[in-house]
Amino acid sequence: MSGWLVPAAEPRRVLLVQPYLPAHPLIADDPPEFSQPLGLCYLAAAARTAGHAVALADLYLRQAQEPRALLPWLEEQRPQVVGVSAPFTLLAPVVAELAREVKAWDRGAQVVVGGAHASSLPAQVLAEPAVDAVFLGEAEESFCAYLAGAALAEIDGLAYRQDGQPMLNPKRHWIKDLDDLPLPARDLLDLPAYWQRSGRAGLGRWTSLVTSRGCPFHCVFCSTHTVWGRRWRARSPENVLAELRELARLGLDTISLEDDNFSLDLERAAAILQGVIDQGLRFRWATPNGLRGDRLDRRLLSLMKRAGFSQVKVAVESGHPRVNREVVRKKLDLAKTREVVAQASELGLPTAAFFVLGFPEESPAEMLTSIGFALELKALGLSGADFFMATPYPGTDLLAQAQEQGLLLLGEAELPFANAFCPSLCSPQWDADLLWFMVRLARGAFDGRPGLAELLARCREEGLEAVLRQGRGRASYAVGGPEDSFILQAGWHGPEHWDRPMRWSKSRAELVLWPQGQERLELTLLTQRPGLAQRPLAGRVLAAGRELGPLALSDQEWHALSFGLPPELRQGRLPVSIQLEAGWSPTREGDSADERVLGVALCRVALTSGRAKTGLRAGLRRLLGR
């Protein structure tokens, strides 16, 4: 037994819980991928090694929708301590519901909470009366001390109450030797159920693997330090290989490598991969969190290919030197990253990259440079790139900066649902409309959509504002290109309005909004490919079956429309139908009727109180040169 593991004088019955998703329109139709709760498995293994009886309930996997779904586990396990994971802020209301459910079942049961959200906002979690304690950061040691009955004031990284008053013990100690940890208790998981429901297409019999903890870097958008600390700690190659042999014995064939810094120590990473090869351990490998491009070399890339890596993802964030160094604070060696991508291509190992646009201190010109860097990497062999929007998650310096400078587009109720696919920040240098333009331009240019690489080059050479003031035809494709004309993107107004993605059905667009008091519905439509429409477009806009107004679209490209919402339609679920009565056009000469497409794209929908708080109209005037 590890030295820090406190043995149980009186074994406790413990139930660990992965929460279900909240019933919210934003995630109802686009839920996160099913993931295995590896953190709870580590916690369970530590508690079992200390002598406690542990069970695990994954309500997310079971698609639970209410706290009563926990009752069968409570009745069967009769736990004395219930530990609930709070890895994301959007789960905060569910964690509170589950805590109250446990107390309703047995007021004597102790409810404790941990995870990234709890580590970032412990006082907020402890404000729920049904929560007895909150663990900050990695909790194998502190949780075992809690179960052993240690004095609360002496437990590292614990928020609790004393005489009704909240108390907080800062997180100061981290497990120095990760080899002391028992292997995660995957036997508590129904692994086949995860494989069936994970949504990780093509990954097969997969599991997550973590070989190191902690991050010495200070990226402004990252909160991993709240859980794992700033000091990098790594498992030995021998320890990792022992786990991999066990996974092979269980019949697993795919590893999702979820370290934040797997290759920080190149020799250790090489020793692990060489061991995989020498011991004949056959796995496919994925790197969903990305690796630092400047902590890879030809030798390691070669070992990755031989060990079964199908692709290596590189986390670039920004391709502009100043932004990467001073704004993002990643301090990535961009020249080394170029070299690594080229080497991987020579070895036949596919690479992909992550980019983030829209940091408040990042100028539009610097965004263009970052997009250009992605195209440079593509020329060297990069096979894929994801472009995200900077997102102020709890526990990040980016959120603190945005709150201090008043740059948040989302209110407190919306903030838990902030995501990297929808603007949540603004800047004195750009608004959300321009950020949308940049992200669509980046994706389109990298994917090789017609005209977009040329448009990017013109923006970099002539200046963004100058190009956007010129003929609107070229710029428009960056916002609503033909390939994704009928995909409605959530707009700057925030995710609380959305029920499900828009659907086009022939000449009708259907979507569901949640106005929450907003007074106006604003639409931006783009007539696709000038001259394609055979006649003017006509139609109407309906909300809850009531006509808000007619559509009469001329042959101009852009149409910014605004409709007032009657007071009785400003609350609750609001189905909206956009019906086009004319304007069908063939995609190409000779296309059949079934292959015809609408000559219009719905590019943006906004619900407003009458004031476009993020510059929608100003952004459109800029785009139109008006």
- Give pLDDT tens digits for 167-191: 999 999 999 999 999 999 999 999 9
* Average pLDDT in the chain: 82
Mean pLDDT lowest among 15-24, 355-364, 550-559, 603-612: 603-612
Judged against a pLDDT cut of 80, whether residue 321 lies above it is answered with yes
CB of 176 closer than 8 Å to CB of 227: no
pLDDT band at 565 (very low <50, low <70, confident <90, very high): very high
Judged against a pLDDT cut of 60, whether residue 1 lies above it is answered with no
Question: Which positions ≥6 away from 586 have C-beta within 8 Å?
Answer: 595, 596
Q: What is the pLDDT of residues 227-284, one digit of tens each?
A: 999 999 999 999 999 999 999 999 999 999 999 999 999 999 999 999 999 999 999 9
As a CATH number, domain 13-169 is 3.40.50.280
Please give the angle made by the CA atoms of 311, 312 and 317, to the nearest 5 degrees.
135
pLDDT band at 601 (very low <50, low <70, confident <90, very high): low
Please give the angle made by the CA atoms of 88, 90 and 92, to the nearest 5 degrees.
85
Among the listed residues 139, 121, 109, 120, the one whose alpha carbon sits nearest the alpha carbon of residue 40: 139
Helices (H), 406-544: 432-447, 452-462, 464-469, 472-476
Structure tokens that stand for 378 in this block? 């593509």
Among the listed residues 106, 40, 41, 43, the one whose alpha carbon sits nearest the alpha carbon of residue 71: 106
Question: Domain extents for the chain?
Answer: 13-169, 200-430, 495-624
Return the C-alpha torsion angle 461, 315, 487, 541, nearest 10: -80
Judged against a pLDDT cut of 70, whether residue 21 lies above it is answered with yes
Pairing relation of β-strands 212-213 and 233-234? Answer: antiparallel
What is the per-residue pLDDT for 65? 84
More confident residue, 103 or 477: 103
Q: Which amino acid is present at 605?
A: V
Judged against a pLDDT cut of 50, whether residue 615 lies above it is answered with no
Burial 254-281 (b: 16+ CB within 10 A, else e): bbbbbbbbbbbeeebbbbbbbbbeeeeb
Judged against a pLDDT cut of 90, whether residue 376 lies above it is answered with yes
More confident residue, 18 or 483: 18
More confident residue, 548 or 608: 548
Q: What is the pLDDT of residues 418-446, one digit of tens each?
A: 778 778 888 988 877 788 788 888 998 99
Among the listed residues 83, 49, 52, the one whose alpha carbon sits nearest the alpha carbon of residue 182: 49
Judged against a pLDDT cut of 60, whether residue 503 lies above it is answered with no
What is the per-residue pLDDT for 534? 43
Domain 200-430 in CATH: superfamily?
tm_1862 like domain (3.80.30.20)
What is the per-residue pLDDT for 365? 93
Structure tokens that stand for 435 in this block? 């950020």
More confident residue, 223 or 453: 223
Task: Give the chain's largest Cα–Cα span.
Answer: 83
CB of 600 closer than 8 Å to CB of 552: no
Rounded Cα distance between 293 and 316, Å, is 7
More confident residue, 519 or 531: 519
Tell me the average pLDDT across 321-329. Answer: 97
Topology classification of domain 495-624: Jelly Rolls (2.60.120)
| DSSP string computed for 100-111 | HHHHHH-TTSEE
Judged against a pLDDT cut of 60, whether residue 499 lies above it is answered with no
What is the per-residue pLDDT for 4? 59
* Tokens 């013109």, residue located: 458
Rounded Cα distance between 295 and 431, Å, is 35
What is the per-residue pLDDT for 6? 67
CB of 618 closer than 8 Å to CB of 463: no
Structure tokens that stand for 271 in this block? 């020793």
Task: Give just the sign of the alpha carbon dihedral 318, 319, 323, 324.
Answer: positive
Among the listed residues 185, 175, 288, 183, the one whose alpha carbon sits nearest the alpha carbon of residue 245: 183
More confident residue, 601 or 41: 41
CB atoms within 10 A of CB 552: 12
What is the per-residue pLDDT for 478? 26
Count CA atoms closer than 13 A to 560's CA, side-chain side: 13
Tell me the average pLDDT across 329-340. Answer: 97
pLDDT band at 2 (very low <50, low <70, confident <90, very high): low
**Rounded percentage of the chain residues whose pLDDT exceeds 90:** 58
What is the per-residue pLDDT for 526? 61
More confident residue, 533 or 478: 533
Judged against a pLDDT cut of 90, whether residue 322 lies above it is answered with yes
